[in-house]
Chain A
């Protein structure tokens, strides 16, 4: 089945530093990747949608200059949290959607294992 590798699985960083999270599709090509954030006891909230080779689309309230997304290839998308602050501490998860010919009957949403970010 479709596998998405996400790393790091957890990271602790100092306030003001930047953190890069990678999401890689291992056995399929992902034309679209979604980045979600989940605070404790809250639902997953979509932050942005990235399409390979074009700019990401950010949800309302998500600062595009703070959360930089790059989707330069069909197998790799990255999310960089710039100048991280304690309020950015959260669980970040990517979700990839295979190209049309690879999609299975549940429409192929595959999730990475998530990155738990703690900013101190």
Chain B
């Protein structure tokens, strides 16, 4: 089982649609979780951290289910500029210890 697995995508949605990405991780002791966004041929950029209680940042909502080792990202009212690859990222050692484990990413394409 891969350490971090994501929906393969691609997701092609119209503007204004709501889209959800799922991710599972294998290390039950993992402590920190993130969603990153990566544009074509660019470096990943932090979109948001994911907290146990769930968290929201504007149109983006992230949720974590530790029991199921499952992370999700919901994008509401999607914009053309949301087109990118979304990476589910886990820090198995938590905090500032250790390195980040990246999922393969899910490509999102928002069409007019």
Q: Is the CB of B87 within 8 A of A100?
A: no
Q: Is the CB of B32 within 8 A of A107?
A: yes
Q: Is the CB of A111 within 8 A of B102?
A: no
Looking at B13-21, B61-69, B75-83, B93-101, the stretch in contact with chain A turns out to be B93-101
Min CB distance B95 to A, Å, is: 6
Q: Which residues of A contact B (CB under 8 A)?
A: 34, 36, 41-46, 49, 91, 93, 95, 97, 100, 103, 105-109, 111-114, 116
Interface residues of B in 18-63 (CB under 8 A from A): 32, 34, 41-46, 49
Q: Which residues of B contact A (CB under 8 A)?
A: 4, 32, 34, 41-46, 49, 87, 91, 95-96, 99-105
Query: How far, in angstroms, from A43 to B86 measured CA to CA in the complex?
Result: 11
Min CB distance A6 to B, Å, is: 8
